Structure 1
Amino acid sequence: MRRGTAALLDDYWRAQARLGTEVSAQSLAQWSRVNPLSLVESGSVWLAFMLALIRGERRRSREQAAAFLRLYRAMETGYTLPPLQDDPVNDFTTLGELREDWARVSDTIRTPAPDDTDRIRIDGDFDWPEEPVESFDRAAVASLVSQGPAKLREQVAQAATEQTRGRLDDAGFLAELESATANTGTTAANAADREAIRSGRDLINRASQEDKRVVGWARVTDGNPCAFCAMLASRGAIYTSAATAVGGGRRKPAGSADGRARRNRRPPVSLEDLTRYHYGCHCQAVPVYSRNDFMTPDARRYDREWQQVTRGKSGAEARAAWRRHIESSRT
């Protein structure tokens, strides 16, 4: 992987993470006004505010994703996609113009590069997928409610049962209410984070599936991944069936006569796996345009660590060892 490409991938997940983290912070600020004893009213106010905020941030996430994908594809293939907006489409653009667009939407510093003037042909026969706004709104409501007001309601009911049935002058009950409100505020904020960057992830996923130049996908971690996300990243790229047929299958690991014979091979990975994201996750699934080995620096490190940590183990035992290793090293 070229240094410029690796840096862009890193910049992209960081830009999306900033967006999601900002929404998470605003969710926590608004959640401070939620009263567990008048949850219907105060929770509804919080939910309405967060939905309006998330709708706007989804647009930002989508714009960032499109600008990233146009620049990333140009750097990898020499060809790019049309602008996301309905602007007149020229036959060519330049790397410099694509970098300007990425810097604008990601609020990053634009550093001049020697190849800024390189001309990049635009593949004009491509249509960006539309955002399923209503579907995403429903997903946001379900996620926010389940991780916020509904979860708090359950904890309040449990506390009322355990602490003299919810007497307001009972110190234990009041402490339980305070703890439950704080905990659900955090889970709700994580849900808001994920919903804010849903559109960017969706755009790259669906656009790359329609892109004839894409031969596979890979997971890029957020720098502090859980064990499952680190395992996905350690696999490098998974390839489409057509790319695998042309390329003769996955590369066998060094020092192995048959990669399938290794006892500590990682669980099989699919595109569905690569595009699953838990609450608080800022990893990204990105397209791959070449069967040349696709490994970010983090992915190479996780690959080496997997081999070391799971040596002599298989199945559930290997996964458990890997999970312990990653959890012990997370910040």
Structure 2
Amino acid sequence: MNPLSLAESGSAWLAYMLALIRGERRRSRDQAAAFLRLYRALETGYTLPPLQDGSVGDSTTLGELREDWARVTETIRTPEPDDADPVRIDGDFDWPEEPVESFDRAAVASLVSQGPARVRERVAQAAEEQARGRLDDAGFLQELDDLHTSAGTTAANAADREAIRAGRDLINRASQEDRRAVGWARVTDGNPCAFCAMLASRGAIYTSVATAVGGGRRKPPGSADARNRRNRRPPVTLQDLTRYHYGCHCQAVPIYSRADFHTPQSRDYERQWREVTRGKAGTEALAAWRRHIESTRS
């Protein structure tokens, strides 16, 4: 964008970015549907109809579901021994429609706030600098260059979140309508922030509120069980699990069994939480956890 013609160059940039994000949202939905169909089949032996309209039979195979996943992700698939295993299709399921207009509004708001608005604010400050004769100063010119780099980075993070919004939304809403889903769990990327790592360490939360928060009779404050619970992670909700910040690549996935759901990653985070927050509670525990995760991030 040209800082001397922000309105014109900003509008052109925004139109280009919105078109790009729309295309990536379609890819995100396709990949999310392919993931959910394969994941559900592996977990339950049943899958969902294809996302795209068209005739569908009563069953498919694990191999066909894997082929679909490889196709939409443009990855190479290696044959698996159970590729020929049949998978029943639950035909009484309708995929939720993408709220295109709502997503477009969210994308515009994010892009503008993280890109042009930041540049506009700094350029306004430059008008004051001009009166002090700094416009030709090498340090000031470097500040403007750094500003564009910074705005480009924050706008890219906004575009990234808006591009994958569609896939996250599809999995979230589809799983809430899925009669076989009994809860959700947070899965992170390889370098999560402290908040995301804490959510992942929780493992599964269930649709039953009593199960999600532990239920049962509360022990006396001075009991051994109560003391052992001091450093347990705060209970979370589906709303917590589906909160995503800029630069976040986590995903809330449905679970299909009331057996404790833990990936190797979440078990490791659970172990770290117990060690880092031992003897602490509340904000003190959260602060200790934040310091620990930030010290391990790349």
TM-score by length of 2: 0.93
Structure number with higher relative contact order (C-alpha < 8 Å, ≥ 6 residues apart) = 1
- CA separation of 1:91/1:292 partners in 2, compared to 1, >3 Å: closer, same or farther? same
Deviation at 1:39, TM superposition (A): 1.3
**Cα displacement string for residues 127-184 of structure 1 (whole angstroms, at most 9, x for unaligned residues):** 0000000100010000000000011111222344356457532334322211111111
* Structure 1 unaligned residues grouped into runs of 5+: 1-33, 251-255
- The aligned amino acid for 1:270 is T
- CA separation of 1:49/1:320 partners in 2, compared to 1, >3 Å: closer, same or farther? same
Q: Percent same amino acid among aligned pairs? A: 82
* Structure 2 unaligned residues grouped into runs of 5+: 217-222
For residues 327 and 241 of structure 1, the distance between their equivalents in structure 2, rounded to whole angstroms, comes to 33
Does the Cα contact within 8 Å between 1:164 and 1:170 map onto a contact in 2?
A: no
Does the Cα contact within 8 Å between 1:163 and 1:173 map onto a contact in 2?
A: no
Does the Cα contact within 8 Å between 1:215 and 1:291 map onto a contact in 2?
A: yes
Counterpart selection for 1:152 from 109, 119, 125 = 119
Counterpart selection for 1:291 from 258, 261, 268 = 258
For residues 194 and 109 of structure 1, the distance between their equivalents in structure 2, rounded to whole angstroms, comes to 26
Does the Cα contact within 8 Å between 2:129 and 2:135 map onto a contact in 1?
A: no
Q: Does 1:74 align with 2:3?
A: no
For residues 19 and 85 of structure 2, the distance between their equivalents in structure 1, rounded to whole angstroms, comes to 41
Q: Does 1:217 align with 2:184?
A: yes
- CA separation of 1:165/1:54 partners in 2, compared to 1, >3 Å: closer, same or farther? farther
- CA separation of 1:259/1:61 partners in 2, compared to 1, >3 Å: closer, same or farther? farther
Match of 2:273 in 1: 306
Secondary structure in 2 aligned to 1:218?
strand
Does the Cα contact within 8 Å between 1:140 and 1:192 map onto a contact in 2?
A: yes
For residues 130 and 269 of structure 2, the distance between their equivalents in structure 1, rounded to whole angstroms, comes to 47
- CA separation of 1:218/1:227 partners in 2, compared to 1, >3 Å: closer, same or farther? same
For residues 208 and 325 of structure 1, the distance between their equivalents in structure 2, rounded to whole angstroms, comes to 33
**Cα displacement string for residues 176-204 of structure 1 (whole angstroms, at most 9, x for unaligned residues):** 21111111110000000000111000000
Residue pairs, 1:1-331, within 5 angstroms: 34-162=1-129, 164=131, 168-241=135-208, 244=211, 258=225, 262-331=229-298
Give the superposed CA RMSD. Answer: 2.0
Deviation at 1:243, TM superposition (A): 9.0
Deviates more, 1:127-136 or 1:156-165: 156-165
Deviation at 1:111, TM superposition (A): 1.2
- CA separation of 1:311/1:186 partners in 2, compared to 1, >3 Å: closer, same or farther? same
Deviates more, 1:154-163 or 1:256-265: 256-265
**Cα displacement string for residues 50-70 of structure 1 (whole angstroms, at most 9, x for unaligned residues):** 000000110000000000000
For residues 244 and 227 of structure 1, the distance between their equivalents in structure 2, rounded to whole angstroms, comes to 24
Aligned residues: 291
For residues 165 and 133 of structure 2, the distance between their equivalents in structure 1, rounded to whole angstroms, comes to 39
Deviates more, 1:133-142 or 1:163-172: 163-172
Secondary structure in 2 aligned to 1:238?
strand
For residues 81 and 227 of structure 2, the distance between their equivalents in structure 1, rounded to whole angstroms, comes to 44
